[in-house]
Chains A and B, each alone.
Chain A
């Protein structure tokens, strides 16, 4: 990895980074603020969840699983389900744009010619630029946690954040997996529009497969083909345990797609 190129990538991403940090801090505060009103209507929500079953779960998350045995709602479980179910989805969409552009945009604009005229290996170009994304994710995650803590301070409450911290592990790895296959598309197509279409379609397909698997009993096996299947924030918050199979799937996707990206980029002609 080349530290100068990494620093350049980080500087170029600072606008997006600041915007996401501010967004998730404010969203965190809002979700914490909504906790008390939601706690008051937990019974009603549980009734709806039971009545509408899996359809309700798709749009509102598995509310039933995060209610305490006495029917009350805990802050940790509430945030894990309602805040951290959206978090990786938003960051996955960002991953498509960020990572899909790493190679394709430079080739499309012609700046890759200038970069590869310098004494730097292709593998270092791709890794230095890609390494920025996990840093961005970790910083946004830290800002999100800060927003939650800030929100708790505002409504003067406290909660054990162990469950939330555990959920952040797969929440970071899921967009990383999306970023890694977006990078692979970027190296294959070298055209930003084609990359966005391919990575966006695949991510959409994964999301659709997960919904199908959850709504149609006979198709539940389809869920295993979706990266979203392995992300269950409600379960992690309820059990306080990490789904290691999911972590393994994400890590495998990241390693395989990144290695394939390097392989493709090393061997191909650079021509817009």
Chain B
């Protein structure tokens, strides 16, 4: 049985497309990344799963239950982190979390305290005094504190500093080790590569592909930038397994297709000042999938 299952899920806001015919199957115990640029339809999909909005057509199931008919039963077993975190500003972090856990009939504060310690946040302060990152931490605790079977997280690392992000990734891995399933949306490719088992690529409301992370990495576009001590003749830049994309004086850019190991010895023949492997952008990855689709 799949934990999350959607079939031809479609949502239109008037004439504007949110998502179109989205079919997804999320397996138990996996961390699934839902990757796409802003406006791709990630939040729309999550809001349908939480039953905040209703699909135009198609259906979605969580734990085998229809998300509209059994929304309360489903929400007892999930932790959700909304995309734009808004909390009751007049409350303290502790009061807010107590209110949220009381709606789950969970009156144990142990897990809340552990999570607060791991994320390093003082819950006794009023929420209005918190920074954006601190509010995000409270929202993360809210999603995790009731020990849910499934976590649905909409851009969870937004506003978190790198150290807290790392701790958050550890938290997700811990949850996975405990048999929990995680579904999270992101527009940051390295983040998804780092924590996810599989990834769904969404663009303009359409699911382009679902890949394992290993497959995604093997298909990943890798860039190479060389800064040379002096300009060289273009024919010297015809290297194995790379495609020359730009020459600007001593600055040269390539796209790497083959194994990097074969390339390194050849580079030593050039008058190198510096070698840079810039991180591939989400756009580069999508372009790769588009070109594959077109070729197909």
* Cβ distance B183 to chain A, nearest Cβ, rounded Å: 14
Report the separation of the CA atoms of residues A69 and B76 in the bound assembly, to the nearest whole angstrom: 67
Contact, CB under 8 Å: B75 / A110: no
List chain A residues, Cβ under 8 A from B76. Answer: 119
* Cβ distance A61 to chain B, nearest Cβ, rounded Å: 39
Chain B contact residues (Cβ within 8 angstroms of A): what range?
20 to 34
- Is B209 engaged at the interface, CB distance under 8 Å to the other chain? no
Report the separation of the CA atoms of residues A5 and B105 in the bound assembly, to the nearest whole angstrom: 12
Assuming the A-B contacts A4-B102, A118-B103, are A269 and B86 also in contact, with contact meaning beta carbons closer than 8 angstroms in the complex? no
- Is A113 engaged at the interface, CB distance under 8 Å to the other chain? yes
List chain B residues, Cβ under 8 A from A113. Answer: 50, 52, 82, 84, 86
| Closest A residue to B48 using CB positions | A269
List chain A residues, Cβ under 8 A from B88. Answer: 12, 111
- Is A18 engaged at the interface, CB distance under 8 Å to the other chain? no
List chain B residues, Cβ under 8 A from A116. Answer: 50-52
Contact, CB under 8 Å: A119 / B103: yes
- Is B164 engaged at the interface, CB distance under 8 Å to the other chain? no
List chain B residues, Cβ under 8 A from A193. Answer: none
Report the separation of the CA atoms of residues A113 and B47 in the bound assembly, to the nearest whole angstrom: 9
Contact, CB under 8 Å: B72 / A117: no
- Is B216 engaged at the interface, CB distance under 8 Å to the other chain? no
Write the A173-192 contact mask toward B (1 if CB under 8 angstroms, else 0). Answer: 00000000000000000000
Contact, CB under 8 Å: B75 / A117: yes
Report the separation of the CA atoms of residues A271 and B99 in the bound assembly, to the nearest whole angstrom: 23
- Is A120 engaged at the interface, CB distance under 8 Å to the other chain? yes
- Is B139 engaged at the interface, CB distance under 8 Å to the other chain? yes
Write the B40-78 contact mask toward A (1 if CB under 8 angstroms, else 0). Answer: 000000010011111000000000000000001101100
How many chain A residues have a CB neighbour from B under 8 Å? 21
| Closest A residue to B98 using CB positions | A4
Contact, CB under 8 Å: B103 / A110: no
Report the separation of the CA atoms of residues A117 and B103 in the bound assembly, to the nearest whole angstrom: 10
Assuming the A-B contacts A113-B52, A271-B47, A271-B52, are A118 and B100 also in contact, with contact meaning beta carbons closer than 8 angstroms in the complex? yes
Report the separation of the CA atoms of residues A113 and B80 in the bound assembly, to the nearest whole angstrom: 9
List chain A residues, Cβ under 8 A from B54. Answer: 267, 269
- Is B288 engaged at the interface, CB distance under 8 Å to the other chain? no
Contact, CB under 8 Å: A271 / B53: yes
Contact, CB under 8 Å: A120 / B103: yes
Other-chain contact of B104, A8, A118, A121 (Cβ < 8 Å): A118
Contact, CB under 8 Å: A121 / B72: yes
Report the separation of the CA atoms of residues A271 and B54 in the bound assembly, to the nearest whole angstrom: 11
* Cβ distance B281 to chain A, nearest Cβ, rounded Å: 29
Report the separation of the CA atoms of residues A197 and B50 in the bound assembly, to the nearest whole angstrom: 31
| Closest A residue to B84 using CB positions | A110
List chain B residues, Cβ under 8 A from A115. Answer: 103
Report the separation of the CA atoms of residues A175 and B245 in the bound assembly, to the nearest whole angstrom: 72
- Is A2 engaged at the interface, CB distance under 8 Å to the other chain? yes
- Is B270 engaged at the interface, CB distance under 8 Å to the other chain? no
List chain A residues, Cβ under 8 A from B85. Answer: 110, 114
List chain A residues, Cβ under 8 A from B53. Answer: 269-271
List chain B residues, Cβ under 8 A from A2. Answer: 103
* Cβ distance A3 to chain B, nearest Cβ, rounded Å: 9
List chain B residues, Cβ under 8 A from A117. Answer: 50, 75, 80, 82
| Closest A residue to B88 using CB positions | A111
Report the separation of the CA atoms of residues A2 and B88 in the bound assembly, to the nearest whole angstrom: 18
Contact, CB under 8 Å: B86 / A114: yes
List chain B residues, Cβ under 8 A from A120. Answer: 72, 75, 103
B236-264 contacts to A, CB under 8 A, are: none
| Closest A residue to B54 using CB positions | A269
Assuming the A-B contacts A113-B52, A114-B142, A271-B47, are A8 and B90 also in contact, with contact meaning beta carbons closer than 8 angstroms in the complex? no
- Is B87 engaged at the interface, CB distance under 8 Å to the other chain? yes
Report the separation of the CA atoms of residues A2 and B72 in the bound assembly, to the nearest whole angstrom: 13
Contact, CB under 8 Å: A114 / B100: yes
Write the A96-126 contact mask toward B (1 if CB under 8 angstroms, else 0). Answer: 0000000000000111011111111100000
Report the separation of the CA atoms of residues A116 and B142 in the bound assembly, to the nearest whole angstrom: 13
Contact, CB under 8 Å: A110 / B72: no
| Closest B residue to A15 using CB positions | B90
* Cβ distance A23 to chain B, nearest Cβ, rounded Å: 22
Contact, CB under 8 Å: A5 / B103: yes
Assuming the A-B contacts A111-B86, A271-B47, are A4 and B52 also in contact, with contact meaning beta carbons closer than 8 angstroms in the complex? no
Q: A2-B103, A111-B88, A270-B47 are in contact. List 7 more A-B contacts (CB 8 A).
A: A109-B86, A114-B82, A114-B86, A267-B54, A269-B52, A269-B53, A271-B47
In order of increasing CB-CB distance, the 8 nearest A-B pairs are: A110-B86, A117-B80, A118-B103, A269-B53, A4-B102, A119-B76, A113-B82, A119-B75
Q: List 20 A-B contacts (CB under 8 A).
A: A5-B103, A12-B88, A110-B85, A111-B86, A111-B87, A113-B52, A113-B84, A114-B100, A114-B142, A116-B50, A116-B51, A118-B75, A118-B104, A119-B72, A119-B73, A119-B76, A119-B104, A120-B72, A120-B75, A271-B47
